[in-house]
A and B are shown apart, each in its own frame.
Chain A
Amino acid sequence: MTSAALRLEARGITKSFPGVRAVANVDLALMPGEIHALVGENGSGKSTLCMVFSGIYRPDSGIIFIDGAMVRPENPRHAQALGISMMYQESNLVPELTVAQNVALGHDPFLTRQAALVESVAAILRRLKFDVDPRMKAATLGGAQMQMVEIAKALYTRSKVIIMDEPTAALSASEVQRLHDVIREIAASGIAIIYISHALEEALALADRVTVLRDGEVAACRSTSELCREDLVHLMVGQHVEIVQRPTTRAKRGAELVRTMGLCWRDRVRDASFSLYAGEIVGLAGLIGSGRTEVASLLAGINRPDGGQIFVRSREVDLRSPRDALGHGIAILTENRKEEGLFLPLSVAHNLTIGILSRLRGIMGLLSPAREREEARAIADRLRLSTPSLQIDVRSLSGGNQQKLLIGRMLVREPDILIFDEPTKGVDVGAIAEIHHLIRELASRGKGILVISSYLPEIMALSDRILVMRGGEIVQDIDAADASTDAVISRAFV
């Protein structure tokens, strides 16, 4: 296959940051019209690789060819000019500008010719079979429609390669299907597509070929017809990670701690009903956007349900704030620890002891530094938190240690009901096993635990019972022993 026939070819791309090699010697080749999935765990290098393509990073070594010509994207604007455009995870639209203006952002002529612009954008939208008036403000669009506008942006700049980063993260199942149809449509016109996704089944269904990245290197590059999901998982994970195997004997299930009935919240949660018992680990599975984090937020008091009821120990409660929830013994480890968990500029000790301030009192009711050191050290030791000193900035801890810190903080008030949302996200391998072990141990002590994870093997290994969510509802409630991965996956999709 000559280089000239390939739409995009990358050879030997390497990108390092101080202390870390993000992408190592990666080769990638795309034919015109090929849909190529890019999968890998957190930290495997997929986003870095794509940022190299889209001009945000300059590679340390390696060459990139577009249609046979060597290129070096200097910045996002330059990459666009070369024909590479990227659709980011977070919204890239300006709410107050119209669809047409958003599509043409940065590429409009100095004097905007309204009519001509609207017409050319409308033509693109028609091609995508996307029925929206280009003169409407972007703020009025829904999530799926915004994706369409982003695609229109890529088409407007006459991209040859479009990189899509988790495009279906916030979409419903039917919207995902529509998006896939559109993607196939534009691929048919010769545009090559790189499709990054955590939803492996989706990627396999859509793409022609798939590249699996692991630790910055290419673990495999195959045609999707040759692989099934388990193969992908195996390739992504390799030999390194050991998921703690489920113990053969199950812990005894105790009293009912929490029961929810018909919970609904905005349009993210519709009629969620389930129970949680003492001593069991319930895994909440589902695609991103199915409402799992939102359900957790309702239980933890972060949001208030619009409808439905929550019963804690058979008594109905109204959780108006996380403080309320903590009062009832419900604690949560949120999925974005940097925004909702850690106090970043503060020290490790400070972060640890913030929940037990009353225990640190010394003379005249004032806090005693000695007591603080003791308590902080005690918690840190119990969790095997490895840090040179307790006074350092919490920012300098590794992901695993940060999670352990937050778990420690969670535990000081001795809650009975624990919610873990993506507990091992961005955590190094060694700490993952420790965290799983910790969760197990907590369950065996009689706590009721809810675990949310997008990584199905984790759910399968940890849970005694699995709830599958789809579109804001709980569609399945099965014993883990009876569940198979396929069954769970299929229930998570349409």
Chain B
Amino acid sequence: MNWPGLRRVDKFLLKNQLAVLAVLAFVFFALVSPFFASAFNLQNLAREGAELGIVCVGATLVLLLGRLDISVGAVLGMSALIVILGCKAFALPLPLLVVVVLLFGAGIGAINGVLSSVVGIPSFIATLISLVILRGVMQWASSTEIMRTANSAVSTDHVFLAIGNGVFAGIPTSVLVLAVLFAATILVLRFTRIGTSIYALGGNFQAALRAGLRVTALEIGVFAFAGFCSALAGIFLASRLDSVTYQTGQYLEFYVLIAVILGGTSIAGGVGGVWGTLLGVAFIGILNNGMVMLTVDRDYQDVVIAAFLVFALVGDQYLNRRGETARRWQLADLWTPRQAKRR
């Protein structure tokens, strides 16, 4: 018996696997957990997802270049820490604080970019160093008296709280900001020379060089943007949780990686985009929230996440037909296998 529409539905499902997965996960958790579909949790989910999404937008661009940034979590944590300290311990004016933090994130990112493009350090190591240094500072700062008092005091600054917890026309502020950021990124990627250059750099480095693209500036800029995004998300997180620990943002980089790779951006660079990342974020956000709602053991959560990471990597490998350790770029992140072209 051949229902003609069945074929079409099947094709649609195949093409939009990730969206289907996300929907399925949502439905699953809604059915299984009584609290999942509550308005409160959904709002929470939206906010968490927005924060993750903001970081992922920046990370997507880094991956498109063929690089890796594992310092995003540390930058987010550090930014949150600066915000909490500045607002609750030193009562600095909020607008100034925001600007400083965003500049800080961009600055760390720019340093990563310089290390990766000018000095030629593999981006994994460069960002690993940033991560360790920032985490070190966070550990020290979180152990001081100032931090303890700042964390325990409840914030009275309404504006500050509104950032992370506020609603604008019914939609959480962080979601709105994500939407704006997302739209801006899409516009840049599709309609400007910068976007084309990013894809070119990631897709064929030699071609980009020969076409005269400003390779170094582009790489530094993309890393700086990723740092900016992490800092932005950090502000939202700080406001929402109203406190910070030295573990804030830990392991974020894994979630970010999974979301971006599942969303179709390849770790080899040059392939993918932010649309897919959005779906990836939705899926990972739902998955994460759902598992917490089901009070799944932290370690089982790790297993699920790790499994998905492997799945995403194998899928990326298969889709992009990479071989094993093949030709290596001179500047590149050598962890990504690339196809050696046989003549």
Q: Which residues of B contact A94 (CB under 8 A)?
A: 199-200, 203-204, 207-208, 270
B211 touches A106 (CB 8 A): yes
Q: Which of B191, B204, B207, B212 contacts A75 (CB 8 A)?
A: B212
**Distance in Å: Cβ of A365 to nearest Cβ of chain B:** 30
Question: Within residues 82 to 120 of chain A, which ones have a CB less than 8 A from any CB in chain B?
Answer: 88, 90-97, 101-102, 105-112, 114
Interface string of B172-214 (1 = CB under 8 A from A): 0000000000000000001111101001101110111111110
Q: Which of A77, A92, A114, A170 contacts B343 (CB 8 A)?
A: A170
- In the complex, the chain A residue whose C-beta lies closest to that of B340 is A339
* Range, interface on chain B: 20 to 34
A96 touches B212 (CB 8 A): no
Q: Which of B194, B200, B202, B212 contacts A77 (CB 8 A)?
A: B212
B331 within 8 A of A: no
Knowing A106-B213, A170-B343, say if A97 contacts B200 (CB, 8 Å).
yes
- In the complex, the chain A residue whose C-beta lies closest to that of B272 is A96
A293 CA to B193 CA in the complex, in Å?
Answer: 40
A76 CA to B341 CA in the complex, in Å?
Answer: 24
Q: Which of A97, A289, A339 contacts B199 (CB 8 A)?
A: A97
* Range, interface on chain A: 20 to 34
Knowing A105-B196, A108-B193, A112-B192, say if A92 contacts B206 (CB, 8 Å).
yes
B313 within 8 A of A: no
Q: Which of A80, A88, A95, A169 contacts B212 (CB 8 A)?
A: A80
Q: Which residues of A contact B327 (CB under 8 A)?
A: 339
Q: Which residues of A contact B193 (CB under 8 A)?
A: 108-112
B210 touches A92 (CB 8 A): yes
**Distance in Å: Cβ of B108 to nearest Cβ of chain A:** 27
Q: Which residues of B contact A106 (CB under 8 A)?
A: 211-213
**Distance in Å: Cβ of A334 to nearest Cβ of chain B:** 11
Knowing A76-B212, A106-B213, say if A97 contacts B203 (CB, 8 Å).
yes
Q: Which of A105, A110, A289, A297 contacts B207 (CB 8 A)?
A: A105
A80 CA to B211 CA in the complex, in Å?
Answer: 9
A93 touches B210 (CB 8 A): no
User: Which residue, A80, A105, A170, A297, has most C-beta atoms of chain B within 10 A?
Assistant: A105
- In the complex, the chain A residue whose C-beta lies closest to that of B327 is A339
A108 touches B196 (CB 8 A): yes
A76 CA to B327 CA in the complex, in Å?
Answer: 24
Q: Which residues of B contact A339 (CB under 8 A)?
A: 327, 340
Interface string of A327-370 (1 = CB under 8 A from B): 00000000000010000000000000000000000000000000
A95 touches B213 (CB 8 A): no
**Distance in Å: Cβ of A169 to nearest Cβ of chain B:** 8
**Distance in Å: Cβ of A122 to nearest Cβ of chain B:** 18
A76 CA to B210 CA in the complex, in Å?
Answer: 6
B97 within 8 A of A: no
B271 within 8 A of A: yes
Q: Which residues of A contact B204 (CB under 8 A)?
A: 91-95
Interface string of B240-262 (1 = CB under 8 A from A): 00000000000000000000000
Q: Which of A96, A107, A289 contacts B270 (CB 8 A)?
A: A96
A77 touches B211 (CB 8 A): yes
- In the complex, the chain B residue whose C-beta lies closest to that of A54 is B210
A69 CA to B109 CA in the complex, in Å?
Answer: 45
Q: Which residues of A contact B190 (CB under 8 A)?
A: 112
- In the complex, the chain B residue whose C-beta lies closest to that of A94 is B203
A95 CA to B266 CA in the complex, in Å?
Answer: 13
A88 touches B203 (CB 8 A): no
Question: Within residues 312 to 343 of chain B, which ones have a CB less than 8 A from any CB in chain A?
Answer: 327, 340-343
Q: Which of B212, B341, B343 contacts A293 (CB 8 A)?
A: B343
B191 touches A112 (CB 8 A): yes
A235 CA to B199 CA in the complex, in Å?
Answer: 45
A109 CA to B193 CA in the complex, in Å?
Answer: 7
User: Which residue, B207, B327, B342, has most C-beta atoms of chain A within 10 A?
Assistant: B207
A438 CA to B210 CA in the complex, in Å?
Answer: 42
Question: Within residues 116 to 157 of chain B, which ones have a CB less than 8 A from any CB in chain A?
Answer: none
User: Which residue, A92, A110, A170, A297, has most C-beta atoms of chain B within 10 A?
Assistant: A92
Q: Which of B196, B206, B212 contacts A101 (CB 8 A)?
A: B196
**Distance in Å: Cβ of A148 to nearest Cβ of chain B:** 16
A289 CA to B196 CA in the complex, in Å?
Answer: 32
A102 CA to B208 CA in the complex, in Å?
Answer: 10
Q: Which residues of B contact A112 (CB under 8 A)?
A: 190-193, 196
**Distance in Å: Cβ of A35 to nearest Cβ of chain B:** 23
Contacts A97-B203, A105-B196 given; 15 further ones with Cβ under 8 A? A76-B211, A80-B212, A88-B210, A91-B341, A92-B206, A92-B210, A94-B270, A96-B270, A96-B271, A105-B213, A107-B211, A108-B193, A111-B193, A112-B192, A114-B191
Binding site for A on B (CB under 8 A): 190-194, 196, 199-200, 202-204, 206-213, 270-271, 327, 340-343
12 A-B interface contacts by CB (under 8 A): A76-B212, A94-B200, A94-B207, A96-B202, A96-B270, A97-B199, A101-B196, A105-B196, A110-B194, A112-B191, A112-B196, A339-B327
Q: Which 7 A-B pairs have the closest CB atoms?
A: A77-B212, A106-B211, A94-B203, A105-B211, A92-B207, A94-B204, A94-B200
